Amino acid sequence: GENVEQHPSTLSVQEGDSAVIKCTYSDSASNYFPWYKQELGKRPQLIIDIRSNVGEKKDQRIAVTLNKTAKHFSLHITETQPEDSAVYFCAAVRGGSSYKLIFGSGTRLLVRP
């Protein structure tokens, strides 16, 4: 079955710096890769996603890149702010008939003011 590895487990950056979180997946049939952000004590929320027919997607300070050949995808946050501090989860899924999101183990991001 699908397995998703996520690194690093913790990441501390200075406000204004960039943060990169990387994930690898094992199932080459996976075609949908969402990222969820969970602030302390709150619910995980979708922040960005990418489909396998696209190599990169941006939304303001957040971007996700996908390398299908290497089976890895990354989340990039630029100009980090203290409110970016949270746990970030990557996930992979085979869309359509398959629906199980397989999550990575999470990255705790701390943005130091």
Partner 1 sequence: EAGVTQFPSHSVIEKGQTVTLRCDPISGHDNLYWYRRVMGKEIKFLLHFVKESKQDESGMPNNRFLAERTGGTYSTLKVQPAELEDSGVYFCASSRRLAGEAGTGELFFGEGSRLTVL
Interacting residues toward partner 1 by CB under 8 A: 4, 6, 9, 31-32, 34, 36, 41-46, 49, 51, 89, 91, 93-106
Residue for token pair 């979180």? 21
Q: What is the DSSP letter of 83?
A: G
Q: Which phi and psi angles does 61 have, rounded to 5°?
A: -85, 0
| Of residues 78 and 98, the one with the C-beta less far from partner 1 | 98
Query: Whose Cβ is closer to partner 1: residue 52's or residue 78's?
Result: 52
C-beta separation of 93 from 100 below 8 A: yes
| CB closer to partner 1 out of 93 and 111 | 93
Shortest Å distance, C-beta 60 to partner 1:
18
Least distance between partner 1 and beta carbon 100 (Å): 5
The least distance separating partner 1 from the CB of residue 15, rounded to whole angstroms, comes to: 26
Q: Which residues pair with 112 in a beta bridge?
A: 14
Distance CA 84, CA 109 (A): 7
In this structure, the number of other CB atoms found within 10 A of the CB of residue 82 comes to 10
Reduce the DSSP state of residue 72 to 3 states and report it.
strand
Nearer to partner 1, 99 or 113 (CB): 99
CB of 103 to partner 1, least distance (A): 4
